[in-house]
Chains A and B, each alone.
Chain A
Amino acid sequence: MSALVVLPVVVPLLAAAVLLLFRGQREFQRVLATGATALLLVVSAVLLAQVSAQGILAVQLGGWQAPFGITFVADHLSAIMVLITAVMALASAVYALVDIDPEREASGFHPLFQVLLVGINGAFLTGDLFNLFVWFEVMLIASFVLLTLGSSRAQLEGGIKYVSVNLVASMLFLTAIGLLYGFTGTLNMADLAVVLPEHDAGLVTTIAMLFMVAFGIKAAVFPLFFWLPASYHTPPIAISAFFAGMLTKVGVYALIRTFTLLFVADVGYTHTILLWIGGLTMVTGVLTAAAQNDIRKILSFHIVSQIGYLIVALALYTPLALAGAVFYLVHVIIAKANLFLIAGITRRLSGSFDLRHIGGLFQHAPFLSVLFLISALGLAGIPPLSGFWAKLLVIAAALEAAQWWVTGVALAVGLLTLFSMTKIWQYAFWSPLTNGVVLAQRPSRLLYAPTIALALLILLLGLWSEPLIALSDAAAAELLDPSRYVQAVLGPATSDVGLGAGHAPVAGGRP
């Protein structure tokens, strides 16, 4: 079933092409876009099931053998990420049916959203570094247009910051790729994993640092995160929520992939740097969030702080920590995006995102308050919600690795997260309405449907976390044993060549 590996890219690509052809028909566009996203969810679920049943799947596009052609690889990590992308895409697509105005739909919101999905899924599935760069660019261009669609002043301002900083990251990424290619003569990740140990570790680490900065900007880590809070609050909520959930996580995915598969020559050096970056990211994100009053800005800074946990988990580089990273990724994507979606509904009810102008929502919308509580407490890591297990895994891994200061920081940041969430709760929901207005109109049920589904998912992952933990363990086991990835891509012929064993010619005929 190798065809399955490319379907998460092909389905949205086909949808985008058809949507471009029928640009005028609004109803048709809405039905097709939602249908294609639902189909993507089905395809992604089947892919994850196949990967758990059969192990890593690889396909050589066009039949050109690795390391010469482009390889698509689905291991547990990729398949989990593709599935969670599809879940979030469907939630955002349904929410967008109400949230996105007809004008934005006419300017091409639906095809652009599908192109964004193409870019994200391509990045998760590709097994080639240059191809990864291409998918990042597809994603960047689509997200830039989505961010500025509607061309309000704030959007353009945010968009300029977003695109200029991300283009710098892309240039660094491309430079690093060029150096690596000049150095090794290959860009296939599995092939690189085989040949890199034969090269001078110092030079490899130098190139690794370039990749770390490039992906670090994309993932919004300290001190390169400033573009994120400057831009994420400007577009409509359906777009903000999807960006908040997914985009930085693609950067985190790229970091996890490269710093487990390729750059593990000097773990003591690279991963210690990652540990510091992670710790500082957590702290700066959560502290700056405490100073904000706009709900979307508070949430944007919390994205940064949560990225810190993911980076720390990667830096610890133990089976437990990497399993924690995967679990945390899934949890934080759902919780964060759902908080954005709920913020969108509170805005419709109260007319503002500013905490100083809204209030009394618990009285007027008790159900929405419950949804908010589930997501917010989930994000803060209160049992029995999904965030509890995610944080528990990461903190347990930090204790196991005897990294005491990171453990302390992670616990403190958890408390401060709770503080920020209670701040929103206190002002927007609990306090009596003082100088704001509660609008009479009831938000459409279509807005509630995705938030309810995601809140249930947070509950479910908390109460019945066993399956996801098992999947995360499987993903971590694969990440820590690159030879399985290499074997899936380059074939069993090279399996007898151990990693770092120093055999020069591997995949027949490389010069």
Chain B
Amino acid sequence: MNSLILRTTTQLMITILLLFSVFLLLRGHDLPGGGFIGGLVAAAAVALYLIAFGADAATLLLRVRPRALLGAGLLAGVLAGLMGMVTAEPFLTGQWLIFDLPGNAEVKLSSVLLFDVGVYLVVVGAVLTMLFALEQG
């Protein structure tokens, strides 16, 4: 679609949408949000770019094939599940690494987050695979 308004807005919006998708992903740990909805917002951002600039430009923007994102997401999800088994707990049991920082702060890294990142990537990959196929087919 050749529209100056759409292209200009898209360039502004895509950054905000992608940042917002990461915000949703991280927020989803304790509050409404999460990998699925975050992934949908990120896919919507790329979809907007796809409509405004065409499939070739969107492919360049994405750098990797959507199906590779799907694979990477699946891999992240399974690996997050397997981490539970390293400590002889059942598959998919959450594992935590807690770092103490100066000033009474702490950073928690968890396999749950990795799993959510996996969901995020699978959703982005799946939605974009369909959209690209429609756009190019």
Q: Which residues of chain A have a CB within 8 Å of any CB of chain B? A: 2-3, 6, 10, 13-14, 16-21, 23, 59-63, 72, 108, 111
Verify A60–B90 contact, CB threshold 8 A.
Answer: yes
Verify B91–A10 contact, CB threshold 8 A.
Answer: yes
Chain B positions 83 through 96: 1 when the CB is less than 8 Å from some CB of chain A, otherwise 0: 01100111111100
What residue in chain B is nearest A59 (Cβ atoms)?
A: B90
Chain A residues with Cβ below 8 Å from B93 are: 62-63
Interface hub of A10, A21, A61, A72 (most chain B Cβ within 10 A): A21
What residue in chain A is nearest B125 (Cβ atoms)?
A: A20
In-complex Cβ contact of A23 among B67, B74, B78, B84 (8 A): B67
**Which bucket holds chain B's interface residue count?**
20 to 34
In-complex Cβ contact of B90 among A16, A20, A63, A108 (8 A): A63
What residue in chain B is nearest A22 (Cβ atoms)?
A: B71
B77, chain A: closest CB distance, angstroms = 8
A47, chain B: closest CB distance, angstroms = 14
Chain B residues with Cβ below 8 Å from A59 are: 90-91
In-complex Cβ contact of A17 among B71, B84, B88 (8 A): B71
Verify A20–B78 contact, CB threshold 8 A.
Answer: no
Verify B92–A13 contact, CB threshold 8 A.
Answer: no
In-complex Cβ contact of B72 among A21, A61, A63 (8 A): A21
Say if the beta carbon of B70 comes within 8 Å of chain A: yes
Give the residues from 78 to 131 in chain B that come closer than 8 angstroms, CB to CB, to chain A.
78, 81-82, 84-85, 88-94
Pairs A-B, 4 closest by C-beta atoms:
A20-B71, A17-B74, A21-B71, A17-B75
Give Cα distance in the complex from A184 to B90, angstroms.
27
Q: Which residues of chain B have a CB within 8 Å of any CB of chain A? A: 65, 67-68, 70-72, 74-75, 78, 81-82, 84-85, 88-94
Give Cα distance in the complex from A63 to B70, angstroms.
27
Given contacts A10-B82, A62-B91, A62-B92, 5 further A-B contacts (CB under 8 A): A6-B90, A13-B74, A17-B71, A18-B75, A23-B65
Verify B94–A62 contact, CB threshold 8 A.
Answer: yes
Contact residues of A: prevailing secondary structure: helix
What residue in chain B is nearest A60 (Cβ atoms)?
A: B90
B47, chain A: closest CB distance, angstroms = 21
B116, chain A: closest CB distance, angstroms = 14
Verify A2–B90 contact, CB threshold 8 A.
Answer: yes
Verify B84–A62 contact, CB threshold 8 A.
Answer: yes
Verify B74–A16 contact, CB threshold 8 A.
Answer: yes
Verify A20–B68 contact, CB threshold 8 A.
Answer: yes
Give Cα distance in the complex from A23 to B67, angstroms.
8
A272, chain B: closest CB distance, angstroms = 41
Verify A17–B78 contact, CB threshold 8 A.
Answer: yes
Chain A residues with Cβ below 8 Å from B85 are: 3
Chain A residues with Cβ below 8 Å from B71 are: 16-21, 23, 111
What residue in chain A is nearest B71 (Cβ atoms)?
A: A20
Interface hub of A3, A17, A61 (most chain B Cβ within 10 A): A17
B26, chain A: closest CB distance, angstroms = 21
Interface hub of B65, B82, B91 (most chain A Cβ within 10 A): B91
Instruction: Sample 26 A-B pairs with CB under 8 A, ordered by A number.
Output: A3-B88, A6-B90, A6-B91, A10-B78, A10-B82, A16-B74, A17-B74, A17-B75, A18-B75, A20-B67, A20-B70, A21-B68, A21-B71, A21-B72, A23-B65, A59-B91, A61-B91, A61-B92, A62-B90, A62-B91, A62-B93, A63-B89, A63-B93, A72-B91, A108-B67, A111-B71
Chain B residues with Cβ below 8 Å from A21 are: 68, 71-72, 75
Verify A13–B90 contact, CB threshold 8 A.
Answer: no
Give Cα distance in the complex from A16 to B88, angstroms.
24
Chain A residues with Cβ below 8 Å from B74 are: 13, 16-17, 20
Give Cα distance in the complex from A153 to B57, angstroms.
34
What residue in chain A is nearest B81 (Cβ atoms)?
A: A10
Give Cα distance in the complex from A13 to B71, angstroms.
10
Verify A13–B78 contact, CB threshold 8 A.
Answer: yes
What residue in chain B is nearest A61 (Cβ atoms)?
A: B92
A14 with B84: in contact, given A20-B67, A63-B93 (CB under 8 Å)? Answer: no
Give Cα distance in the complex from A111 to B72, angstroms.
13
Chain A residues with Cβ below 8 Å from B75 are: 14, 17-18, 21
Chain B residues with Cβ below 8 Å from A72 are: 91
Give Cα distance in the complex from A62 to B74, angstroms.
17
Chain A residues with Cβ below 8 Å from B78 are: 10, 13-14, 17
Give Cα distance in the complex from A13 to B93, angstroms.
18
Give Cα distance in the complex from A111 to B91, angstroms.
22
Give Cα distance in the complex from A18 to B68, angstroms.
9
